[in-house]
Structure 1
Amino acid sequence: MRFSLVVATVGRSAEVRALLLSLQRQAVQSFEVIIVDQNADDRLEPIVAEFSATMTILHMRTSLRLCNRARNLGARHATGEIVTFPDDDCEYTQDVLEQADRFFRTHPGHGFLTGTVLLPDGSFGRSGRWLKQDSAVDTQTVWTSLIEFNLFVRREVFEELGGFDEMIGPGTRFGSSEGQDLALRMLARNVPGYYLYHLRIMHPDKPVSLNIARAFSYGLGAGRVMRKNRCDMRTVSQFLIRPAGGFVVNLVRLDMPIARYYFLTFLGRLAGYRAQVAKAA
């Protein structure tokens, strides 16, 4: 088996079906889908039954609604050489697995691969964070070239690191940047990674109201990961200056919702960097 796709899911069904439909269109079909189902009901049963005839699906149930715990649980059952973690509302463009497969075959020394994000309409949306060219991933570019649902890792590397930090990410106080944390830990062990600009997975933009609601928690995650991985002060300063600048610019424009988003992001990053956190058992 070439790929293991671990999908942690809760509260969605039509979106999971759309993801599986996009996987049916992949040129590379050597993959398994491990669905880690955190729902209290059986909404996914008919969808799993529908696709089980055409692809290998392991459907697991868990009552713990922690994204990275679910990802790690699924990854422990993976048999593929490469593990990846699509969100339950993603769709794969047609050549995603083909590109990833080709990269790992031609770059045997690389441990991980990342790509970018498209909106369902084919645009890049509001985000200006992505690098515009292929690039090695390092401690600087990791912040502009990685998102968890477009991260491919050699399974033996993922297992050696112990997977995602379960004290970071959705469902925890530190709500984001678990992918950056994993990549920084790989880089610290001299495991190289690479970013392909044309490796694109579709994912919808979140409403502004939801982004605002999550801004502080996501900021906490970024700040925590920078402190945990001893990022240099240049990086830390940039991550504080940018949202502070965004707050001022949008305040002048009287765009109060976006100004609030940047202000909460700034506060979260600062608090996350300063946070004292008990070590996981």
Structure 2
Amino acid sequence: MLFSLVVPTLGRVEELHALLLSLTKQDIQSFEVIIVDQNDDDRLLPVIATFGDRLTIRHIRSPVRRCNHARNLGARHATGDIITFPDDDCEYPPDVLSQVEARFRTQPELGFLTGSVILPGGQAGRSGRWLAHDSAIDGQTVWTCLIEFNLFIRRSIFDAVGGFDEAIGPGTPFGSGEGQDLALRMLARKVTGFYAYTLKIIHPDKPVVLNVARAFLYGRGVGRVMRKNGCDRETVARFLVRPIGGVAVHLAKFDMLVARYYLMTFLGRLAGYGNAVPSGR
């Protein structure tokens, strides 16, 4: 089983080096790395050269600075059976690919597999509400058991659903939710998805100040994905009410920064859900 790891990257050098180094330590080495370089200079050439004799790397340039465009571009060059999209600032523990291979080999009905997040120090990641047990992925768990950099898909299925929606995600006015959108489209085709609690990828949490700056865009993406995929009213209401609760709790603590984060998240989700969604992918 061959894996294709598509890595969109912009502005990061040391982080990409750390990711590639972690890949050299994988239990299995049956994979290719497709780096989609959105930089306008040659900063990545020394990093790629460092690992040229240890990893199979394809370096693709893209003048378009939009994450899902880069993912789809890289996917068009993929030759693997399983495709995945690690962030350029994450790292793989040594058993990630061997875990994934075992799942797909023993579960031929499996179309896509997800896992959770740990911080560089080994603690549980705070971004996301990760279940502490394995679970099937459905219209509810897709919101609590999935993140793009820990998502593995049979390439034939990825191609069949048309890849990522390039109108959402980082670099667009709808800054998140692209993984959920892709999974919901797969689920609509009766594709089986599964969340493996022990499948963990290392990724740093972003500081709250940075999160506040992008909370509206991220919220807007989630709202748009819910509207686009016809999510039920209960799910929509829950995602609108939850950040309002966060505002109230943190105002009571006089924690204005976090309260503002939740407020911008709410406003973004509301705006995204109200945005007209064109037909198509």
TM (norm. structure 2) is 0.98
Query: Secondary structure, in 3 states, of the residue corresponding to 1:112?
Result: strand
Residue in structure 2 matched with residue 223 of structure 1 by the alignment: 223
Check the 8 A contact 1:112/1:192 in 2, yes or no: yes
Query: Secondary structure, in 3 states, of the residue corresponding to 2:110?
Result: coil
Aligned residue runs from structure 1 range 84-233, under 5 A: 84-127=84-127, 129-233=129-233
Give distance in 2, aligned partners of 1:104 and 1:22: 22
Residue in structure 1 matched with residue 276 of structure 2 by the alignment: 276
Give a deviation string over 1:146-194, Cα, whole Å, max 9, x none: 0000000000000011100000100001000100000000000000100
TM (norm. structure 1) is 0.98
Task: State the shift of 1:280 in Å.
Answer: 6.3
The 3 A distance-change label for structure 1 pair 78 and 9 is same
Give a deviation string over 1:187-215, Cα, whole Å, max 9, x none: 00000100001100000111111100110
Residue in structure 1 matched with residue 25 of structure 2 by the alignment: 25
Task: State the shift of 1:126 in Å.
Answer: 3.2
Residue in structure 2 matched with residue 59 of structure 1 by the alignment: 59
Check the 8 A contact 1:167/1:280 in 2, yes or no: no
Query: Secondary structure, in 3 states, of the residue corresponding to 1:194?
Result: strand
Query: Secondary structure, in 3 states, of the residue corresponding to 1:242?
Result: helix
Q: Percent identity?
A: 67
Check the 8 A contact 2:96/2:200 in 1, yes or no: yes
Give distance in 2, aligned partners of 1:212 and 1:266: 12
Task: State the shift of 1:128 in Å.
Answer: 5.7
Task: State the shift of 1:279 in Å.
Answer: 4.6
Residue in structure 1 matched with residue 238 of structure 2 by the alignment: 238
1:82 has 2:58 as partner: no
Runs of 4+ in 1 over 6 A off after TM superposition: none
State how many pairs are aligned.
Answer: 281
Query: Secondary structure, in 3 states, of the residue corresponding to 1:196?
Result: strand
Task: State the shift of 1:132 in Å.
Answer: 1.1
Query: Secondary structure, in 3 states, of the residue corresponding to 1:5?
Result: strand
Check the 8 A contact 2:227/2:277 in 1, yes or no: no
Residue in structure 2 matched with residue 16 of structure 1 by the alignment: 16
Give a deviation string over 1:80-124, Cα, whole Å, max 9, x none: 000000000000011100110000001111100000001101012
1:261 has 2:261 as partner: yes
Deviates more, 1:88-97 or 1:271-280: 271-280
Query: Secondary structure, in 3 states, of the residue corresponding to 1:198?
Result: strand
Task: State the shift of 1:277 in Å.
Answer: 3.4
Give distance in 2, aligned partners of 1:39 and 1:194: 34
Gaps of 5+ in 1: none
Residue in structure 1 matched with residue 252 of structure 2 by the alignment: 252
